[in-house]
Amino acid sequence: MEEWADIRRLYLAENVPIKEIARRLGLARNTVREAVRSCEPPRYVRPARSSAVDAVEPAIRELLHAHPRMPATVIAERIGWDRGITILKERVHELRPAYLPPDPAGRTMYRPGELAQWDLWFPAVDIPIGPERTARFPVIVGVAGYSRTILARMIPSRESHDLLSGHLACLVDLGRVPRKGVYDNEGAIGRWRGGKPTFTSGFSAAGALGMGGILCKPGDPESKGVVERANQYLETSFLPGRTFASMADFNAQLAEWLVRANNRHHRIIECRPSDRIAEDRAAMMALPPVLPDMAFRATTRLGRDHWVRVLGSDYSVHPRAIGRRVDIRADLTEVVVTCAGEIVARHERSLVAHRVVTDPAHDAARDAMRARRAVIKPIETDVEIRDLGSYDEIFGVAL
């Protein structure tokens, strides 16, 4: 390589004669002439060696012509191959494309109001949840297929009640309901079982919205590439350089940013999502007059220890409900306890597990009830004590 470069430099740049170049470099003049004529540096090319597969290649081609997808192991059996399978597989892999039928790719087209894709995004950001404590939470992300409008909201967990509540909140922000949603195998939504998609009871309960569902098959992320790209866009454009004081602060900043994001020029649709959203909404279904309640619910009898455990934390209840059945409802932001339709507790939902949340009013009511009980004294009155001999006279017992 270096000699070839020196020969061309001496001959082309310095006009040194071939005979002189040969003398300086100690090379034959024909070697110098060949280097001058060559436009590419010399390289060593190993001569091709014959392979044992060459002898059976016609038989391989014949089998592939009849059965283009026949496995290499079956081909080896049919042609009586008794040598290493690796070299045969390599040759079959090389020959097979020539016999496969054409497989053109289609372009996915979205009609207005038809589909929306949904996924969970897990941002690598620490959200403060208490004194010197932080945690990371998922974000449910949806993208309307036709307009490419992005919807998103951070939720406390991946549990069914939280995910579906966040899902419903995104639809309320959209103002309409797409005819179908596309999901992957998220446990709170559904899974493929026995070769069939099966939705959870929680998702089925949201049927009041009228929205159908499509579950992607496992290992098929391309089926919801629109929302996957939205996740990446959030990761690279929304998250960098931001800090958050709470989950509510995260959602507030996200909502403000989504307004700008949905007004940007989208390269795929060659316009802004906001230019298409009106047509997209017009083709969607209306929200029902009464929205389905996706919150966590439970019923229990309140004991003397007037706290109830909800989603890993304990919340105080007014002690007047002790001994009675209470209904518990926990949504994305608060926990409400009712007794016979009357609210006996309302707390902000704790994002910290194993925490005891107490309302000072409940403590004061408990102390007042204990004080009243302490001052109650038994009633003192005279009670006649009957002579036991009178019973002997009544029953005629002679002693």
CB 32 within 8 A of CB 16: no
Return the closest-CA partner of residue 189 out of 158, 150, 156: 158
Mean pLDDT for 112-118 is: 91
Q: What is the pLDDT of residues 137-168, one digit of tens each?
A: 999 999 999 999 999 999 999 898 999 999 99
Phi then psi for residue 188, to 5 deg, are -75, -15
Distance, CA of 399 to CA of 394 (rounded, Å): 13
Q: Are residues 80 and 124 in the same domain?
A: no
Distance, CA of 239 to CA of 122 (rounded, Å): 11
Instruction: Look at the chain and report how many structural domains it folds into.
Output: 4
Q: What is the pLDDT of residues 44-90, one digit of tens each?
A: 677 767 788 889 999 999 999 999 999 999 999 999 999 899 999 99
Which pLDDT score, from 0 to 100, does residue 10 have? 83
Does a structural domain hold residue 56? Answer: yes
Predicted confidence band of residue 345 (pLDDT cuts 50, 70, 90)? very high
Q: Are residues 311 and 279 in the same domain?
A: no
Last residue of a domain, one of 230, 254, 283: 283
Q: Are residues 302 and 275 in the same domain?
A: no
Distance, CA of 53 to CA of 74 (rounded, Å): 15
Answer yes or no: is pLDDT of 18 > 70.
yes
Does a structural domain hold residue 225? Answer: yes
Answer yes or no: is pLDDT of 323 > 60.
yes
Q: Are residues 238 and 201 in the same domain?
A: yes
Does a structural domain hold residue 390? Answer: no
Predicted confidence band of residue 398 (pLDDT cuts 50, 70, 90)? low
Q: Are residues 169 and 277 in the same domain?
A: yes
- Alpha-helical (H) ranges within 186-321 are 201-205, 225-233, 247-261, 273-283
Q: Which helix (H) or strand (E) holds 153?
A: strand 150-154
Q: Which residues contact 135 (CB under 8 A, 6 or more apart)?
A: 126, 127, 129, 351, 352
Distance, CA of 199 to CA of 214 (rounded, Å): 10
Does a structural domain hold residue 291? Answer: no
Q: Are residues 249 and 192 in the same domain?
A: yes
Distance, CA of 199 to CA of 181 (rounded, Å): 12
HEC profile of 259-272: HHHCCCCECCCCEC
Q: Are residues 265 and 334 in the same domain?
A: no
Q: Are residues 234 and 143 in the same domain?
A: yes
Mean pLDDT for 362-366 is: 92
Q: What is the pLDDT of residues 192-234, one digit of tens each?
A: 887 788 888 777 766 668 888 888 877 666 677 899 999 999 9
Domain extent for 86 = 52-98
Q: Are residues 130 and 258 in the same domain?
A: yes
Of 115-119, 189-193, 262-266, 330-334, the range with the lowest mean pLDDT is: 189-193
Residue 55 is which amino acid? A
Integer CA distances (angstroms), 372 to 291, 320, 344, 368, 382, in order: 45, 13, 21, 6, 26
Cβ neighbourhood burial of 365 (10 Å; 0-12, 13-18, 19+): middle
Q: Are residues 28 and 58 in the same domain?
A: no
Up-side HSE of residue 186: CA atoms within 13 Å toward CB? 26
Q: Are residues 227 and 336 in the same domain?
A: no
Which pLDDT score, from 0 to 100, does residue 248 have? 93
Above pLDDT 70, what percent of the chain? Answer: 91
Output the CA torsion 315→321→323→327 (10° steps).
Answer: -60
Q: Are residues 256 and 128 in the same domain?
A: yes
Last residue of a domain, one of 249, 283, 317: 283
